[in-house]
Structure formats: C-alpha cells, structure tokens
C-alpha cells in the first residue's frame, strides 16, 4: 500500500513537469471577457509556468515575452492576476480605465498590509504633501505629517533599495561614476555641501533599447517622465493608485545620492574589481540586492558643518568599509 501511495505521489508531482515539457506554450482564451493567457492546470492554475525562476517578476516578464502577450491573464493557484507588460497595456489600465481599476476590491494580503481605516487619512496626507511640493516648500516640512506605518514600510524600504542599486550600478560602471561625480563637483565647485536648491541645476528637463543595460545617458535628453505620465517608465506607478510619496522620495534620494557622490570617492574592498561585483537580486517587499554592498569611502570634498550622514561616512573610512 505504501508503495502505491508513493507512486501516486510521484505521478502527481511530476505530471505538471511532463505536461510543461510536452504541451506547446501558447495563448488560450481567458474566458468571461478576460485577456488570453497560457494554459492552466487545476488547483495550481498557471504557477507551473513560473517554475525554475526564483524571481517572479523576471519569470512573468519572460513568459509575456515568449507568448508576445502585452496583456495576459494568469491564475496563481486560485488568485486571478492580469499582467500588463507594455506601455500601451499600462496606459489602458492606469489612464483609460483608471477609475474602474482604482476601485477594484483589495486582496486579503493587501488588506492586512494597509493602514487601518478607509484610506481617507492617507488620501488627505497625499493631497497635503502634493500641495506642499507644488508650492515649493521643502520635503522635510511635509514628512512629519505622513502616516508613520506607511513611511516605515514604504518609504524607507523603497528609497534604501534605490540608493543601494544605484551605488551598485555605478560601482559596476566606473566610467559612469566618474562622469556623474565630475558633473556634480564642477557644478558645485566651491560649495561646502549639496542642498535641495542645487539639485534643480543638475536635471535635464514605446520601449527602451537594451533595457537591462545600465545606461544613464539614455535619460540625458529624454522627454520621458517618471511621474506617471509616460508609461515607458513608471517606478512610482500611475493613476489614482500611484505612490503618494513621489515628491518626497525624489527629494530625499536625490539629495542623499548627490551628497554621497559629491563628497566621496568609492572603492570596492579587498582589491575587488568591478567585474567581480555580483548583482544578484532577491525578492522581498522590493527587489533588493541578495548580498549587502560593501564599499570603502574616500573623502574628497570636506565641509565645515558635517551632517550625521557625512560624519558616519568619514568614520567609516577608518573601518575600511561602508555597508549599504
């Protein structure tokens, strides 16, 4: 009897793999007016198509690319998912049909993660923050009004991840690092530190070529905006459900990142070369580095009134590494 159960278990376990290898990968009708999607199995739905890749976002992108499906319907177990993977599909969801999608019911997972209440306090805070940003007040003046739970889970995690990846990409591309630092130090020559007012002088007002390649020059003369108007690049989302902390994240990250590059040169520890720096991703609340980034700061532009962040970096020189 045990042998029979074991055989049945093996059969059940390997049947999806067998079907995945034998059946062709093609789109099927989603039914009930839903977009098409890959063929599904009972219980697990479309999850067998994501096997073999630990990073779900890459698995879904690869699936959409192989099926040539900019709008695709999946079922992750019993959870229905519509995946938009092109600017046109994103525009349909977040611009043309924004009202319908913004008012869709929350999933049980999102409902547990969101702050208590009906969301009116968050919308009120968002409106207040946006008004302050539009009126030219500093980011710091509005941050005190932000709901604490959202600030901790959203703002700190995402902003830290962006800084970490940006530093990783610059260390991986020394030529771009030197170019960015030269621009900063040339524009701010003679100034003791970077301020919010300095940042405005450093910014230049379908699909990306080589989207996986780190190429800052692509943004130099581009008219594509990242604030939800151009669907080719929407790191903060778009429409009614876009991230309400955009203005403050932009100010904080720009100021911190510019400060780190203006005052310090950066080296990899222990003689490591740029080609040896790993860029392995890990899925969490955001897609972050799997391994911490260790760098050695070298002070180049001291300032008279040292901030706590700069003081930490200066002290880190004595311990040889700075941890991101």
Detail the DSSP E strand segments found in 231-293.
264-267, 281-283, 287-289
Tell whether residue 243 is among the known ligand binding residues. Answer: yes
Distance CA 177, CA 260 (A): 12
Number of CB atoms found within 10 A of residue 282's CB: 12
Distance CA 298, CA 196 (A): 23
Give every CB contact of residue 131 below 8 A, 6+ residues apart in sequence. none
Looking at the chain, list the stretches that DSSP marks H as alpha helix, in order from N- to C-terminal side.
Answer: 2-22, 56-67, 87-91, 98-102, 108-113, 120-134, 139-143, 148-150, 157-172, 174-187, 196-199, 246-263, 308-316
Residue 174 C-alpha from the chain's centroid: 23
Give every CB contact of residue 277 below 8 A, 6+ residues apart in sequence. 168, 171, 172, 268
- Of 162, 148, 130, the C-alpha closest to 244 is 130
Distance CA 100, CA 93 (A): 9
* Residues 46/40, Cβ–Cβ less than 8 Å: yes
Hey, is 147 helix, strand or coil?
coil
* Residues 280/293, Cβ–Cβ less than 8 Å: no
Whole-angstrom Cα Rg for the chain: 24
Write out the binding residues. Answer: 243
Write out the binding residues for heme. Answer: 243
């Amino acid at each position: 009897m045990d042998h029979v159960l074991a055989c049945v278990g093996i059969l059940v376990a390997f049947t999806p793999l067998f079907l995945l290898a034998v059946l062709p990968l093609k789109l099927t009708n989603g039914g009930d007016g839903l977009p098409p999607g890959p063929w599904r199995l009972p219980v697990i739905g479309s999850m067998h198509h994501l096997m073999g890749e630990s990073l779900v976002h890459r698995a879904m992108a690869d699936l959409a690319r192989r099926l040539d499906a900019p709008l695709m319907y999946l079922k992750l177990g019993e959870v229905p998912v519509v995946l938009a993977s092109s600017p046109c599909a994103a525009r349909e969801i977040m611009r043309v049909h924004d009202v319908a999608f913004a008012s869709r019911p929350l999933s049980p997972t999102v409902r547990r993660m969101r702050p208590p209440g009906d969301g009116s306090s968050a919308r009120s805070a968002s409106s207040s923050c946006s008004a302050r940003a539009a009126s030219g007040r500093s980011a710091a003046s509005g941050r005190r009004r932000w709901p604490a739970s959202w600030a901790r889970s959203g703002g700190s995690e995402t902003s830290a991840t962006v800084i970490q990846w940006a530093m990783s990409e610059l260390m991986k591309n020394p030529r771009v690092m030197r170019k960015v630092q030269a621009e900063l130090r040339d524009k701010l020559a003679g100034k003791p530190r970077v301020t919010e007012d300095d940042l405005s002088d450093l910014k230049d007002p379908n699909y990306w070529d080589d989207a996986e390649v780190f190429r800052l020059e692509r943004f130099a003369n581009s008219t594509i905006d990242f604030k939800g108007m151009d669907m080719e690049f929407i790191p903060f989302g778009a429409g009614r459900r876009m991230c309400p902390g955009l203005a403050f994240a932009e100010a904080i990250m720009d100021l911190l990142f510019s400060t780190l590059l203006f005052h310090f040169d950066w080296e990899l520890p222990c003689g490591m070369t740029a080609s040896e720096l790993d860029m392995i991703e890990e899925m969490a609340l955001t897609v972050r580095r799997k391994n911490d980034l260790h760098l050695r700061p070298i002070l180049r532009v001291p300032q008279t009134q040292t901030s706590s962040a700069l003081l930490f970096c200066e002290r880190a020189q004595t311990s040889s590494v700075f941890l991101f």
